[in-house]
Structure 1
Amino acid sequence: MTADETFMRRAIALAAQNVGRTGENPSVGCVLVKDGVAIAEAVTAPGGRPHAEEQALAAAGAAARGAVAFVTLEPCAARSSGQPSCAERLARAGVSRVIVACEDASKFASGQGEARLREAGVPMEAGLLADEAAPLYASYRPAI
């Protein structure tokens, strides 16, 4: 098992904690890793807000700069609330890379999260342990 798989499995375990408790939003897990050590982690809060990435970035603070974000679902590119999207927050925080298990078909993500990250110079890789994370989203019906 690689270190990336270990951190993604932790993100998957976090997301599993709140499946069915996040309203219309999916339960997402996020682990921020710097120099091979997890520096912050979070799961989408009950009711669907705040998002996992938002909470993990707040917990990490300035230490998020240069970190790798392991996220179970593609970060959102827009928010219905008008708040900055998770993709924007990750880019602004200065993460060096985003690794995602599953892509998100929601109109608030659907490849747009990846596009926003790439436009900001942050590479995103998708598909790490997607087969393990996908069951978390079996009942998720994204707004499309």
Structure 2
Amino acid sequence: MASDDDLMQQAMTAADTVRSTTAPNPWVGAAIETTDGTIVTGATEPPGGAHAEIVALRAAGADARGSTLATTLEPCNHVGRTGPCVESIVDARVARVIIGVADPDEQVNGAGIRLLREAGIDVTVGVRADDVADQLAPYLHHRTTGRPYVLVKLATTVDGRTAAPDADSKWITGVEARTDSHRLRAESQAILVGAGTVRTDDPWLTTRLVEGPSPRRVVLGSAPADAKIQPCLEWRGELDGLLDELGSDGVLQLMIEGGPSTVAQFYDAGLVDRFVIYMAPAIFGGDDAKPMFRGTGAPTMDALARGRFVGVRLLGPDLRLDVVLD
């Protein structure tokens, strides 16, 4: 029989396959081990479709009776576009449910766990909780704050430069890193740059190197009518107001692609939740190339912002570094 950790890993793997297709719903995965040791998995379908638990229960069929079901997120207990997952789990006579993290959505928030236990099902909560919480971080943040999770993507040299002195930045990193960054676009419901980047680079900011949706495009300031980024939201107000508006529109993750002044604005305001830094094995070797940030930084070592590396991996010749600030 599979361990709880192994079964949850299979649920997380299933969730990864739908990361870009479920928003504003969470990308949940589920795995069912039947009494004979067979394991089937399911993942949340696009909005209006079945949740992960239902997909997995359909795959198990009558063999779901007496089974163990692992799900990355607490099953829902309310009627939305689909029926309550808790009811289907109880009706299928599942014997045990393993949950990664509780759902902070006010319509769930522990009620799904309580109803499963009241139905006599053995429930374990918190299996691979840290890993699941990282996988679902944008959703959990949105349901807790009402705002999108802010992810800053940067491509840099080893010495922390993002463009040459003449502003040319194509291409610091290789095709593997650029492809991965397009995957981030597909996983984000909105993407943002400053007006200076629009004038200098005239970017499309669409998803092209992978299959997946293109994010809604946002510019801090104004964009020319013929800019490739059009149509876009042009924002001139406070950043807090922008995040409130995007959150209310169902944006779970906002991806910021620059430039250095725009990144600095969000960072200085304490609004960045995660940095994804693609680092190339390249060095400018001077102080005249473009930095990751503009403006005044920490004045002392004691004032440095500290965080955690939550992911480090090779992408071709480059490194992807995922950093979450404390």
Q: TM-score, normalised by structure 2?
A: 0.41
The match for 1:76 is: 76
What are the residue-to-residue correspondences of 1:91-130 with 2, within 5 Å?
A: 91-130=90-129
Task: Tell me whether 39-48 or 16-25 shows the greater mean CA deviation.
Answer: 39-48
Extract unaligned runs of 5+ from structure 1: none
Which digits, 9 at most, give the CA deviation of each residue in 1:27-80, with x for residues without a partner?
A: 111001123624321000133621011111111111100000000000001121
- Residue type matched to 2:5 in 1? E
For the Cα contact (< 8 Å) 1:68–1:99, is it kept in 2? yes
Comparing both structures, which one devotes a greater share of its residues to strand?
2
For the Cα contact (< 8 Å) 1:28–1:52, is it kept in 2? yes
- SS of residue matched to 1:72: strand
Task: Tell me whether 42-51 or 54-63 shows the greater mean CA deviation.
Answer: 42-51
The match for 1:30 is: 30
Matched, 1:142 2:150: no
Instruction: Look at both structures and tell me which one has the larger radius of gyration over its CA atoms.
Output: 2
The match for 2:87 is: 88
For the Cα contact (< 8 Å) 1:77–1:112, is it kept in 2? yes
Higher relative contact order (CA 8 A, sep 6+): 1
Q: CA RMSD in A?
A: 1.8
Matched, 1:12 2:12: yes
For the Cα contact (< 8 Å) 1:27–1:48, is it kept in 2? no
Distance in structure 2 (CA, Å) of the matches to 1:75 and 1:142: 15
The match for 2:56 is: 56
For the Cα contact (< 8 Å) 1:79–1:108, is it kept in 2? no
For the Cα contact (< 8 Å) 1:31–1:38, is it kept in 2? no
Distance in structure 1 (CA, Å) of the matches to 2:19 and 2:135: 7
Distance in structure 1 (CA, Å) of the matches to 2:78 and 2:93: 19
Extract unaligned runs of 5+ from structure 2: 147-326
Distance in structure 1 (CA, Å) of the matches to 2:25 and 2:115: 20
Distance in structure 2 (CA, Å) of the matches to 1:142 and 1:58: 28
Distance in structure 1 (CA, Å) of the matches to 2:143 and 2:93: 28
- Residue type matched to 2:134 in 1? P
For the Cα contact (< 8 Å) 2:69–2:97, is it kept in 1? yes
Distance in structure 2 (CA, Å) of the matches to 1:77 and 1:13: 24
For the Cα contact (< 8 Å) 2:35–2:63, is it kept in 1? no
Distance in structure 1 (CA, Å) of the matches to 2:33 and 2:50: 20
Comparing both structures, which one devotes a greater share of its residues to helix?
1
Q: 1:48 to 1:135 in 2, by over 3 A?
A: farther
Moved over 3 A (4+): none
How many residues end up aligned between the 2 structures?
142
Distance in structure 2 (CA, Å) of the matches to 1:39 and 1:91: 19
CA offset at residue 123 of structure 1? 2.0
